[in-house]
Structure 1
Amino acid sequence: MPFLDLRWSVILAALALGFASSGVACAEKQYDPGASDTEIKIGNIVPYSGPASAYGSYGRTEAAYFKKINAQGGINGRKINFISYDDAYSPPKTVEQARRLIESDEVLLIFNSLGTPPNSAIHKYLNTKKVPQLFVGSGATKWNDPQHFPWTMGWQPNYQSEARIYAKYLLREKADAKIAVLYQNDDYGKDYLKGLKDGLGAKAASMIVIEESYDNTEPSIDNHIVKLKATGADVFVDIATPKFVAQAIRKVREIEWKPLHIINNVAASVGAVIKPVGFENSQGIISAAYVKDVSDPQWKDDPGMNQFLEFMANEFPDGDKLDSSTIVAYGTAQTLVQVLKQCGDNLTRANIMKQAASLKNFRTEVLLPGISINTSPTDFAPIGQLQLMRFKGERWELFGDVDTGG
C-alpha cells in the first residue's frame, strides 16, 4: 500500500504540474479585440480620393508589404488582416471610417492613417477608446504627447523641427532674405509656420514679408502665388501637399518669379510632384529628407535600397518607386512589424503601445545613414533628424549634416 500511495502521489503531482504549465501557457497568450492565434487586424485610413489622393500610395504600399509578410508566414505565426478605407482627406469621413474600423471591424489598432486634420478629428476618440493610433501619417508635434494622449504616436520627423532646419539654413546663407510663406490653413500648415518663425527668432518679423494661407478645398492656388510674387520676396517657403506644391512650381515658372523655393518634405516626391511638373522647372528647389531616394545613384549598391526595389518589383509592380510616399510607407510598415514581433503572444493594445515606446536604435534600412528610431514612455517621436537636399538634374542631392532642427 505504501508503494501504491507513492505512485498516486507522483501521478497527482505530475498532473498538477501539467495543469499549472497549461495555465502558464494560456496566460502567456493575451489578446484584445482584433487579435487571435491566427490573425492580427490592422485598420488604416488614407485619402484614395480627393485633394490629397496622391497619398493613397501609402495604403497601397502597406497592403502589398503586409501581403509579403503573410506569404512568409506572418508575424509569430499570425497573418495580418489589413483593412484600409478612403476618407478623401475629409475629417468627418475620417471619424466615420474610424468608428467603422473600431466598432464594426473590431481592429486591434489604427496604423499610419494619413494627414493632420483627419487624424486630429479622431485623436480624442481613439484615446478615449484606448485604441492605438500608431505611427500617424503626419509630422504634427501634437502626436508626441504621451502624458495627455498615451494611445497616439507619430513616426516621421515633426514639422516644426523640419521648418527650423530651413530657418537655420536661411539665417546662415541668406540672412537678408525677404520671405513669402504659403501654408495650408490647418494644424499641418500652422505647425510648419510656427517652426519657421521659432527658427528665425527675432528676425522673423523683418524677414517674413507675407504669410498667405490657402484651403485644401480650393481648386487652384495660382492667385496666391501671384500675390506672393508682388511682395518682391526672394525666398518662397511652400508649405503645401503634393497637388498644391505641383501647382506652385508651375505657376512660379509661368510668371517668371525666381525666388529660392523651399518645399516641405511631405511634398518632395520626385514621382508624384517633381517629374510631373518637369525637371527643368524644379532646378534648385530645396527640401529635407530622412529616407533614401531611389533616384540617388549613391544607393545603387545599398542593401536596404535593393531590398526595397526587390519588393517593388515582386510585390508592388504597379507602384511608383520614385514616389517618396512609397518608400516612407514601406519603412513605416517595417517598423510596425518590428513592434508586433516584440509583442510576442501578448497582443493587447496596452502592450502594443508599450513595445512601440521601447524602440532603441531601430533602423529600417531605407532611413538615411545616421538616422535611427528611438522611443521611450516619455518620447513618442520616433524619428528626430533630417538632412537638407537640393534638386539638381533629375534627382535630389543631399548636402550638409543630419540635423535635429534644435
Structure 2
Amino acid sequence: MRNIELSRLATFAGCLAFAVSFNGLAHAQKKYDPGANDTEIKIGNICAYSGPASAYATVCRIEAAYFRKINDEGGINGRKINFISYDDAYSPPKAVEQARKLVEGDEVLLIFNPVGTASNAAIQKYMNAKKVPQLFPASGATKWGNPKAYPWTMGWQPTFRNEGIIYAKMILRDQPNAKVGILYQNDDLGKDYLAGVKDGLGDKAKAMIVAEASYELADATIDSPLLRIKAAGADVLLNFTTSKFAVQAIRKVAEMTWKPVHYLASVSQSVGGVMKPAGLESGKGIISSYYLKDPTDPAWNRNDAMIKWSTFLDKYFPEADRSNVLNVYGYAVAQTLVYVLRQSGDDLTRENIMKQAANIKDLRLQTLLPGIIIGTSPTDYYPIKALQPLRFDGEKWVPFGSVLVGATEK
C-alpha cells in the first residue's frame, strides 16, 4: 500500500510540475497582430515624395536608411523591420488611398510618421476605426494628442499651437508694442500656429495683430498676402509656412527692403532646405526655434551623437544633405519608434504598441538639444513639449535664451 501511495504522490507531483511549466509557457507566449511574426515587423509610411511638400521626402528616406541599420545589427528582438513607404504627393485623398493599401493590403502593424498635417487629418478617423496605430505623425498639429477621441493617434514633435504660444511670449517680452502681421498656410498647420499666437498674446491680441493673410498650397506665389501684411504697417512678421513657401517669403521680404522682426516656423528652418535656397544673407536675423541639434552648428562638431549620426550617413545615406536638419529629425523619430518596439518585447499587438508609446519616461535621445526630453502618459500624447529659441546669423542657427514651454496640452 505504501508503494502505491508513493507512486500516486509522484504522479501528482509530476502533473503539478507539468501544469506549472505549461502555465509559464502560456504566460510567456508571443503575441502578434497582423504585420508581426517571429521574423518580421511590417511598418507602413506615407510620404510626400512628390508634390508641394516634397522637401520633406528626405525624412522618409532617412528613416528607411535607419531601419536598414537596425536590421544589419540584428533587428528588433531578432525581428527585421520591413518598412513600406508610399507617395501621396501631399494629397489628402491619396493619403487615404495609401493608408487603406497599407492596412488592408500590406497588413502593416502600424503606420509610422506619415508626412503632413492635411494627410494625417485625412486618415485619422480611418486609422482609429481600424484600431491601427498612427504613430508619431510628421506634423505638429494639436489634434494628434487627443487620446479620448483618437486613442490610436499620437504625435511626436512640439505642436504648432505650442510654438505659436512661445513666439507670442517672446514678442510680449521683446517687442511689447509690436504691430504683428501673420502669414499662414490655410490648413490645420497654419490655423494651429495662428491660434497659438492669439492664445499667447491673450487680451492684447486684438490690438497687436494688424494683419492676418493666408495662402493655399496650390498658389504659385505668396507675394500678395505678404504685400497686404506690409501695407498694414506690420513691424513683426510671423511666417508660418512650409518649406517651398518659406523660401519665397524670405526672398520676397528681402526684395521689398522691408525689415520686420521675422519669426519663422520651426518646420521650415532647415539651413540646407530653406535658408540656402532663400539666400543666406536674406535670412540673417530671422528668429525660430527647435528641439534637435543643428548639423550646421560647429558647437556639435565633436558631439558624440552628431558624430554617430554622420557616421551613419556615411554608410547608409551618403547622398544626404548634411546641412538639412530634417535628416536629424528623421533619425531621431526613427530612434523613438525603435525604442517603443523594443519595449514591446514579444507582445507585438497594436494595443501593446500604443501602451508602450504612452508610457515613455524621460527618454533622452542624444540628438535632442540640452534640456529637452521625450515623455508621455496614457493622458499625455504630446511627447516633446519644449523648444529652444534660435536666431539665424547668416550661416547657422544660434541658440539664445533658455528652453521654453508654451503650454501643457492635454
TM-score range, shorter chain: over 0.9
Q: Does 1:227 align with 2:238?
A: no
Q: Which amino acid aligns with 2:147?
A: P
Partner of residue 326, structure 2: 325
Give the drift of 1:393: 2.9
What do residues 305-363 of structure 1 show as CA deviations (whole Å, max 9, x unaligned)? 11111111111111112212111111100011110111000000000000001100101
The alignment status of 1:259 with 2:235, answered yes or no, reads no
Once the two structures are TM-superposed, the CA of residue 3 in structure 1 deviates from its matched residue by 6.0
Distance in 1 between residues matched to 2:25 and 2:393, nearest whole Å: 58
User: Does 2:87 match 1:90?
Assistant: no
Give unmatched runs, 5+ long, in structure 2: none
Q: Find the residue that maps to 1:397 and give its secondary structure.
A: strand
Q: C-alpha displacement at 1:282, in angstroms?
A: 0.8
Q: Give 1:295 deviation, angstroms.
A: 1.1
TM-score, with length taken from structure 2: 0.95
Question: What's the counterpart of residue 240 of structure 1?
Answer: 241
Local SS of the residue matching 2:386: coil
Q: In structure 1, what is the equivalent of residue 301 of structure 2?
A: 300
Question: Equivalent residue for 1:72?
Answer: 73
Code of the aligned partner of 2:332: G
After TM superposition, give the deviation of residue 22 of structure 1 in Å.
4.9
Partner of 2:25: 25
Q: Which moved more, 1:16-25 or 1:313-322?
A: 16-25
Residue correspondence of structure 1 range 7-406 to structure 2 within 5 A: 10=10, 14=14, 17-18=17-18, 21-22=21-22, 24-27=24-27, 28-406=29-407
CA distance in 1 between counterparts of 2:100 and 2:19 reads 41
Give the distance between the partners of 1:276 and 1:14, measured in 2 at CA.
76
1: distance between equivalents of 2:360 and 2:40?
A: 23
Q: In the TM superposition, what whole-angstrom CA distance separates every residue of 1:250-301 from its partner, at most 9, and x where no partner exists?
A: 1111121211111100001111000122211110000001001011111122
The question of whether the paired residues in 1 share the 8 Å contact of 2:213 and 2:226 is answered with no
The Cα shift of 1:2 comes to 7.0
Shift of 1:224: 2.1
Structure 1 vs Structure 2 CA RMSD: 1.7
Q: In structure 2, do the counterparts of structure 1 residues 275 and 127 end up closer, same or farther at CA, with 3 Å as the change threshold?
A: same
User: Is the Cα–Cα contact under 8 Å of residues 341 and 353 in structure 2 kept in the other structure?
Assistant: yes
Q: Could you tell me how far apart the structure 1 residues matched to 2:327 and 2:86 are?
A: 18
How far, CA to CA, are the matches of 1:26 and 1:288 in structure 2? Answer: 50
In the TM superposition, residue 24 of structure 1 has moved relative to its aligned partner by 3.6
Where structure 1 has 5 or more consecutive residues not aligned to the other structure, the ranges are none
**Number of positions where the alignment pairs a residue of Structure 1 with one of Structure 2:** 406
Confirm or deny: 8 A CA contact 2:182 2:240 kept in the other structure: yes
Deviations 1:133-162 (A, max 9, x none): 111111111111111111110000111111
What is the alpha-carbon distance in structure 2 between the residues aligned to residue 343 and residue 291 of structure 1? Answer: 26
Distance across 1 between alignment mates of 2:98 and 2:295: 33
Q: In the TM superposition, what is the alpha-carbon distance from 1:179 to its structure 2 partner?
A: 1.2
Offset, 1:115 = 1.1
Distance 2:343 2:12 in 1: 37
